[in-house]
Amino acid sequence: MRILAIDTATEALSVAVQYNDEIIDRFEVCPQQHSQKLLPMVDEVLGEAGLSLKQLDGLVFGRGPGSFTGVRIATGMVQGLAFGAQLPVVGVSTLAAMAQQAITDENAQTVVSAIDARMSEVYFGQFSAQDGLAVSSGGEQVCAPDIAASMLPETSFHAVGTGWQAYEALNRADDNIVKTQILYPHARHMLSLAAPEFAAGNTQDAMSVMPIYLRDKVTWKKLPGRE
Domains along the chain? 3-93+186-208 (3.30.420.40), 94-179 (3.30.420.40)
User: Are the CB atoms for 115 and 65 separated by under 8 Å?
Assistant: yes
Count CB-CB contacts under 10 A for residue 139.
Answer: 8
Longest dimension (CA), the chain: 54
Q: Within 10 A of 201 (CB to CB), how many other CB atoms are there?
A: 7
Helix (H, G, I), strand (E, B) or coil at 190: helix
Interhelix angle 68-85/34-49, nearest 10 degrees:
40
What string of pLDDT tens digits covers the 227 residues of the chain?
999 999 999 999 999 999 988 999 999 999 999 999 999 999 999 999 999 999 999 999 999 999 999 999 999 999 999 999 999 999 999 999 999 999 999 999 999 999 999 999 999 999 999 999 999 998 999 999 999 999 999 899 999 999 999 999 988 657 789 999 999 999 999 999 999 999 999 999 998 998 988 876 444 445 444 44
> Please, how many CA atoms are within 13 Å of residue 206, restricted to the half-sphere of its CB?
16
Instruction: Please tell me the distance from the alpha carbon of residue 66 to that of residue 148, in angstroms, as a whole number.
Output: 16
The answer to whether the pTM exceeds 0.75 is yes
